[in-house]
Structures are given as C-alpha cells and as structure tokens.
C-alpha cells in the first residue's frame, strides 16, 4: 500500500451501541472499495474486523480493530470499535487517534445508551462527528423517528444530508439534499435520477433548511444567499466541511450496510467533508523544556503514539500507533521517554483486520502497526532521543467489577502472572492485584463480560486455565467491653525451658484508632527487655485473627503484671505469653465484626433516581445527598457496606438499562449488625 500525504488521510472511528451495525458497515465499506472480495457476515463470524475467536463465537466486537483501504486517492483508516460498556476503554483509545467519528445508529432502535456515552467522549475531545442511520431496510425502521431522536438528544447541529427513498423492505436508495437528486441501488449499483414525485415537497423543504443551515456559518455565502444567489455544490460542500471540522455541524447520512445501499456515498462524504489530520487543532505535548506544539508535518521530528497493544502468543506484542509528526521508516530507532529505552521499529505494516500489509513508510497523520516493541506499552510515546516528548494518554476508566482467580494446575502461578501482565499491555482497563490478607489474586475489569473474556483469553492465548471465585471482603474484629486475662507459657525441654507470664487488660478504642499497647509493669514483674516481646505477641495474634478469623483492630491492650524466671524466660516465652493472654481476653470482651463501608457516587438520569436510591437503601446504604447535573442527570452520594456492592456494576446496569455509572472507594469500618454474624462465621469456616 502506498503512502499518502496527511491531507488525504482519514482516520475514522466507527462508534455506537452494540448491534447498530458498525462491523457490518466496516465490511461494506471494504467491499465497496474492493479491499475484500467477499462481504462477510457478523452472524457466521466471517467479517474482517471481528476475527478473534471470542468475537466470532459471540457475534459481537470485543476490542477495536483497524482496517485500512484506499478510496478516490485517499487512505481511510477505519477503526471498528466495540459497542458495549465493558469495552469502553477501546472506544476511548480509538477516539484519541481518530480525526472523525462516525456514529452508527440503527433506524429500528434509534439512539441507545452507548451511543450517548461515546458522543460524550467525542464531545470532550472536540472531535468532528458524522452520523450514519443504518438498517433502513429492516421492519419497523423509521428515518424520521430516528432523526427526531438524534436532534432531540444531540442538538440543532444534527443536519440530514440525505433522505431515504422507500421504507423498510422497500428501501432502495437516498435523496441527496445538496443536489436535489435521487440515487437508487440495484444489487449495489447506483443510478441517479430525479426526486420521486411523492417526496418532492418534503425534500425541497428540508433542502432549503439545509442550505440556510450551511450558509449561516459563512458570512460571504450568507450575504449572497440573502441576495438570491444560491451557492454551488462545491461551495456548500466546502462550508459544510468547515462546520464538521469545527464540530458544530453533524451531518446525517443514511443507508443499509447489509444491503450495500449508499455505502459508496458514505465513503465519498468521508473524503470530501470528513476531517483530515491537518484539519484538527494543534496538539500540545510535554517536552523537557515545557509544552511543545506538534504539527502534522512529514518533514518534522518523528513522534509516534501507541494507542493499542495486541498480545499475540506467536508474534509477541503487536503495537498499533499513529504518527503525529515526521515520517517513520523500517529500522528507525526512537526512545520511549517513560522507560528511557530505545526501540527499533522493524518491519512496518498496516492492518486490515488480521491481515498484515507491508508498507515502506508511515507519514505524519497515518496509522500503522509494528511488532516486538519490548519496552513500550499502550499509551506510550516514541520520539527522538534528542527531543523526547510525551503525548498525554486518555484517562483509564476505573474497574467496576472484580473476581478472584487461581490457576487450575499447581505450579502455574508464575505463568498466570506473566499472562496477566501481557493482557494488561493489550487492555489497560484490566486490573490485577494480590490480596495477601484474603490469599487471593484479584482480577478487575469493566463488567462481567469483560472478565469472562479475559479468563477465556488466558486459556486460549497462554494456556492458563483458572478457577474463579468471589472476592473475600476484608472484615475486621473488635471488642465491645473490657476484659482481663493471664497468658502463661511454660515449656520444659530437658535443658533451659521456656517461661513467661503476662497479665493483660483489653479494652475497646475509638473507631479507627488501631492498636495501642500500654506498659504498666512496676517492680520488675517483667524485665524491661521482654516488654516489647509481649507487645509483638499481641500484635501478631491480632493480625492472625480473632473469634471470626479476621484481624482485630481498635483495641487498647495494657500489660499490668507478669512473672518471669531468671533462667527460662526469653523473648520467645513472653511473645507467646502475650499472644495467649490476648486470645483469652478477646474471647471474654464480647468480640464483634466490623465491616468495610464504601463511598459510592452514582450518576444516573433523573428518571432512575428514585429506583437507584431505593436500591441503595435496600443494600443497607445511607444516602448522603444528591446533586443535579446538566443534561438531566443526578449524582447520588451514599455510604454502603462493601459486601453489598461487590456486583453493583451488574445490578446498576440492570436497574438503569445501562445508563447508570458509578465510582466507589473505601471509606471506613463500622459495626456489622449482629444478626449477620452467623453468615460471616460460616463463610470464614468455609462451610
């Protein structure tokens, strides 16, 4: 594949709700351009961009995929994005490097939740947007209803450039509002003709409104238009392209990806009014001497940003990157400012799904891939050692759901951690931590499906099969009253024995105070050098767990008396005496469970506010307050027992139809209701 100058490159992210037809549209564009000879189907797993086994099995996109093709002296880099909330991290990565987002919306379902989520992400980046209304040949499809939904949701900038000719199964083409012509399709072949008579009146009205909407952004065109001089097609198209680049006009196109209706027109519009890398605002990066402006100049210093890493068990790491400045050629050596490691970019290629197409150079603005970058991960920048800069990576969303995993085969612990690290390179939204208290490896992700996919890929890519379990809640124990006990440790072994006696008094402390040890030994009942051993024995006993098996906190332990033997006493004997005395006193001091309490911040549309607050109350939560936001949303802040929200990500999506989102973190510990103690005691016993 030849190289293209930046002004003739289009980096396009296909985004929208799952099932809207993004992958089918990518397939149709590739087929229309002659890049593939057969149009695959999502249903049978033969599409270009859904090639991972987990994707073909489920018939959905689970990660972003790159597919490049040429169209009318332009190069279009399509980035097919997943449409489910669990994989929003890949949507963020794609929108970071895209210069245009095409929102694929089903004419049957209309605007759905992930479409709005992706729109919010694109708006935050000021990214140019176009909309493709798909599935107009399906039953119950309605362009008018979908357009009303789009304009209500996204505002007056949503402007139709086409109207459908025919409805549902009778859909056969589009009416071009810029040229007042109709383009109909038979077996994918277009024919241009006049607007159908039954559409003339409505089409002309929308045509006039569209022209006014375009010229209002250009003073010269507006003045001519008011004087009765209608701008020509090229002038209108130029003004429209400026509106798209400024992210104030969002053109709406329509068609059928599965029926190959108006797909060629979409490709034309991508090239004619879609934004190129040079149309985007300057990018400011962090350099050694402060912020620096990067220009999309093939002759500048090469600066590369890695936006996606694919863990391939055979090839190794495959890095997808965008060149923001300069020209990259094979065997170029650049430096990673994060690791300070030099990386040699060996063979370069572009991707068409899983197909690798060798290329001799990558110019500024283009997207490509390279294998075997050893010290570079997703979100890293590569630049010359003499001019190191860093492009700011998008914020990684916090994981919302966790499970515990363990290898099925003994001895696979090291293999498991190596595999998890490689999957984290591929997907930074994966979280991994070792919980020493619960003796668990905790895997975190963006939802239930996300975690299932990670587990499946561990098995397929790295041969590590794992068992899954619930994450153990880190309960604590404390006491509610004071108690005294005497710890005696006496052992005879034939030579020197072990002897130590420590009299202890245990009392409750304020919540969050931790452990306080008080020495009230007088008269040398216990020699000074052995007092720290008593404290250490108490501390270790607290850590090992109390009546329910959980660490003990918030107690004051006072050593009031003791006995020693001039020969047999030692640090070990008093350490054991302290441990035994504490355990005996704890049993008398009415131990209770403390449960972790999490702060939770839930953002939901106002319509779901009552349902969410009721659900939080049912989880023993205490709502602390609510706050209205722009766009008809509310933030609900609450304190909820951690045990009640382990699967909250799943439940919140169910309650709100996917519209709710939340953040959470540990806040404090509080007394657990006594009627729940028995369940925890059974769990801790493993019964």
Say what the alpha-carbon torsion angle 226, 229, 233, 236 is, to the nearest 10 degrees: -30
Per-residue buried b or exposed e for 638-666, using 16+ beta carbons within 10 Å of the residue's own CB: bbbbbbbbbebbebbbebbebbbbbebee
> Band of the pLDDT at 515, cuts 50, 70, 90?
very high
Reported as a single tens digit per residue, the pLDDT across 47-62 is 999 999 999 999 999 9
What stretches of 50-107 show up as alpha helix (H) in DSSP?
53-58, 88-97
CATH architecture, range 401-469: 2-Layer Sandwich (3.30)
CA distance 520 to 570: 20
Quote the CA–CA distance of 569 and 499 in Å, as a whole number.
5
Residue listed under structure tokens 């109207």: 163
Position 682 pLDDT exceeds 70: no
Neighbours of 448 (CB within 10 A): 16
Mean pLDDT in residue range 278-293: 87
Q: Per-residue pLDDT for 660 more than 70?
A: yes
Q: H or E element: which one contains 508? A: strand 498-508
The CA angle 273-278-281, to the nearest 5 degrees, is: 100
Tally of CA atoms within 13 A in the half-sphere of 312 that contains its CB: 16
Question: How many Å from the N-terminal Cα to the C-terminal Cα in the chain?
Answer: 63
Longest dimension (CA), the chain: 116
Smallest Cα–Cα separation from 637: which of 621, 653, 648? 621
Provide DSSP, 296-308: --TTS--EEEEEE
- Within 13 Å and on the Cβ side, how many CA atoms surround 49? 30
In sequence order, what DSSP letters do the residues of 218-251 get, joined into one string? Answer: -HHHHHHHHTT-PPPHHHHHHHHHHHHHTTS-EE
Greater pLDDT, 483 or 187: 483
Burial of 475 (0-12, 13-18, 19+ CB in 10 A): buried
Instruction: Please tell me the predicted confidence (pLDDT) of residue 598.
Output: 97
The answer to whether 283-390 and 401-469 have equal CATH topology is: no
Rounded distance, CA 364 to CA 96, Å?
15
Please compute the mean of the pLDDT values over residues 480-502 and round it to a whole number.
Answer: 88
Q: What pLDDT digit, counting tens, does each position of 519-560 carry? A: 999 989 999 999 999 999 999 999 998 888 899 999 999 999
Reduced to 3 states, what is the DSSP secondary structure of residue 469? Answer: strand
pLDDT bin (cut points 50, 70, 90) of residue 686 is very low
Give the integer Cα–Cα distance in Å for 635 and 458.
37
Quick one: DSSP state of residue 524?
T
Q: How far is CA 444 from the centre of its chain?
A: 11
Q: Which of 147-161, 254-268, 312-326, 515-529 has the lowest mean pLDDT?
A: 312-326
Pairing of strands 515-519, 498-508: unpaired
Q: Report angle CA 439, 441, 444 to the nearest 5 degrees.
A: 135
Does residue 13 register a pLDDT over 80?
yes
CA distances from 429 to 85, 318, 421, 442 (A): 12, 18, 12, 14
Per CATH, the number for 6-172+239-279 is 3.40.50.300
Dist. CA 104–CA 268, nearest whole Å: 17
Would you place residue 685 in the very low, low, confident or very high pLDDT band (cuts 50, 70, 90)? very low
For 449-462, what is the mean pLDDT?
Answer: 94
Helices (H) and strands (E) counted in the chain, each on its own, are: 16, 37
Q: Which pLDDT score, from 0 to 100, does residue 292 have?
A: 86
Query: Quick one: tokens of 32?
Result: 């229309």
Average pLDDT over residues 622-640: 94
pLDDT over 90, % of the chain:
78
- CATH 3.40.50.920 for domain 593-685, yes or no, is no
Rounded Cα–Cα distance for residues 285 and 359 (Å) = 27
Sign of the four-CA dihedral 252, 258, 264, 270? positive
Q: For 201-229, how does the pLDDT look when each residue is reduced to its tens digit (9 = 90+)?
A: 888 889 888 888 888 777 788 888 888 88
144-200 confidence digits (pLDDT tens): 999 999 999 999 899 999 999 999 999 999 999 999 999 999 988 999 999 999 998
Q: Which CATH number does the domain 476-589 belong to among 3.30.70.260, 1.10.287.70, 3.40.50.720, 3.30.230.10?
A: 3.30.230.10
Asked whether the predicted pLDDT for residue 687 surpasses 60, the reply is: no
Q: Specify the pLDDT at position 534.
A: 96
Give the other-Cβ count within 10 Å of 604's Cβ. Answer: 24
Q: What is the separation of C-alpha 24 from the centre of its chain, rounded to a whole number of angstroms? A: 23
Query: Could you tell me which residues are beta bridge partners of residue 638?
Result: 600, 623
Whether the Cβ atoms of residue 428 and residue 396 lie closer than 8 Å to each other:
yes
Quote the pLDDT of residue 123: 95
Is the per-residue pLDDT at 445 higher than 70?
A: yes
Q: Which CATH class is domain 283-390?
A: mainly beta
Q: Where are the domains of the chain?
A: 6-172+239-279, 283-390, 401-469, 476-589, 593-685
Q: How far apart are CA 675 and CA 663, in angstroms?
A: 29
- Least Cα distance to 476 among 511, 443, 442 occurs for 511
- Distance of CA 549 to CAs 38, 148, 478, 486, 576, Å? 63, 60, 12, 22, 19
Q: What is the pLDDT of residues 338-353, one digit of tens each?
A: 999 999 999 999 999 9
């Amino acid at each position: 594949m030849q190289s293209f100058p930046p002004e003739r490159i289009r980096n396009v992210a296909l985004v929208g709700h799952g099932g809207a037809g993004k992958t089918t549209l990518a397939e149709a564009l590739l087929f229309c351009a002659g890049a593939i000879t057969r149009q695959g189907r999502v249903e049978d797993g033969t599409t270009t961009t859904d090639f991972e086994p987990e994707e073909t099995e489920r018939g959905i996109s689970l990660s972003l995929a790159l597919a490049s093709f040429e169209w009318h002296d332009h190069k279009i880099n399509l980035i097919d994005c997943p449409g489910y909330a669990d994989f929003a991290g890949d949507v963020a990565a794609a929108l970071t490097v895209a210069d245009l987002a095409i929102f694929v919306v089903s004419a049957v379902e209309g605007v759905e939740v992930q479409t709005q989520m992706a729109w919010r992400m694109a708006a935050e980046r000021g990214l140019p947007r176009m909309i493709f209304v798909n599935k107009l040949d399906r039953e119950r499809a309605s362009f008018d209803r979908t357009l009303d939904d789009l304009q209500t949701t996204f505002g007056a900038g949503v402007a139709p450039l086409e109207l459908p000719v025919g409805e549902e199964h009778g859909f056969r083409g589009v009416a071009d509002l810029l040229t007042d012509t109709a383009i109909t399709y038979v077996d994918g072949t277009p024919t241009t003709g006049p607007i159908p008579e039954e559409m003339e009146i409505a089409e002309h009205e929308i045509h006039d409104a569209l022209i006014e909407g375009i010229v209002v952004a250009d003073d010269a065109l507006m003045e001519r238009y008011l004087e009765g001089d209608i701008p020509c097609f090229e002038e209108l198209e130029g003004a429209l392209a400026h509106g798209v680049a400024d992210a104030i006009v969002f053109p709406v196109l329509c068609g059928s990806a599965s029926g190959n209706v108006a797909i060629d027109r979409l490709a034309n519009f991508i090239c004619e009014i879609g934004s190129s890398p040079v149309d985007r605002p300057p990018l400011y990066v962090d350099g050694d001497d402060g912020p620096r402006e990067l220009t999309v100049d093939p002759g500048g210093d090469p600066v590369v940003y890695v936006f996606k890493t694919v863990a391939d068990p055979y090839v190794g790491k495959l890095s997808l990157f965008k060149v923001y400045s300069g020209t990259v050629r094979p065997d170029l050596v650049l430096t990673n400012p994060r690791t300070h490691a030099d990386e040699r970019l060996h063979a370069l290629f572009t991707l068409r799904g899983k197909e690798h197409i060798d290329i001799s150079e990558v110019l500024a603005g283009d997207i490509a891939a390279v294998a075997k970058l050893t010290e570079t991960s997703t979100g890293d920048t590569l630049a010359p050692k003499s001019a190191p800069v860093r492009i700011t990576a998008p914020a990684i969303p916090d994981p919302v759901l966790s499970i515990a995993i363990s290898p099925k085969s003994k001895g696979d612990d090291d293999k498991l951690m190596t595999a998890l690290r490689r999957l984290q390179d591929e997907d930074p939204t994966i979280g991994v931590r070792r919980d020493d208290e619960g003796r668990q490896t905790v895997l975190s992700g963006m939802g239930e499906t996300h975690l299932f996919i990670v587990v499946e890929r561990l098995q397929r890519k790295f041969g590590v099969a794992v068992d899954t379990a619930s994450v153990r809640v880190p309960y604590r124990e404390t006491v509610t009253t004071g108690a005294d006990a005497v710890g005696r440790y006496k052992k005879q072994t034939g030579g020197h024995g072990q002897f130590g006696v420590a009299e202890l008094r245990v009392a409750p402390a304020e919540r969050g105070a931790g452990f306080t040890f008080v020495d009230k030994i007088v008269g040398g009942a216990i020699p000074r050098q052995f007092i720290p051993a008593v404290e250490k024995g108490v501390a270790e006993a607290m850590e090992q767990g109390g009546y329910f098996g959980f660490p003990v906190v918030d107690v004051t332990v006072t050593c009031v008396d003791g006995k020693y033997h001039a020969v047999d006493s030692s640090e070990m004997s008093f350490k054991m005496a302290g441990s035994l005395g504490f355990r005996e006193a704890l049993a008398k001091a009415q131990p209770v469970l403390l449960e972790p309490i999490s702060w939770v911040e839930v953002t939901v549309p106002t319509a779901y506010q009552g349902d969410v607050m009721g659900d939080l109350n049912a989880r023993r939560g205490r709502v602390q307050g609510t706050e209205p936001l722009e766009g008809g949303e509310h933030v609900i802040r609450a304190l909820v027992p951690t045990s009640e929200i382990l699967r909250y990500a799943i439940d919140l999506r169910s309650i709100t139809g996917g519209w709710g989102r939340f953040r959470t973190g540990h806040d404090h510990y509080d007394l657990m209701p006594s009627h729940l103690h028995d369940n925890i005691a059974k769990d801790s016993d493993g019964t």
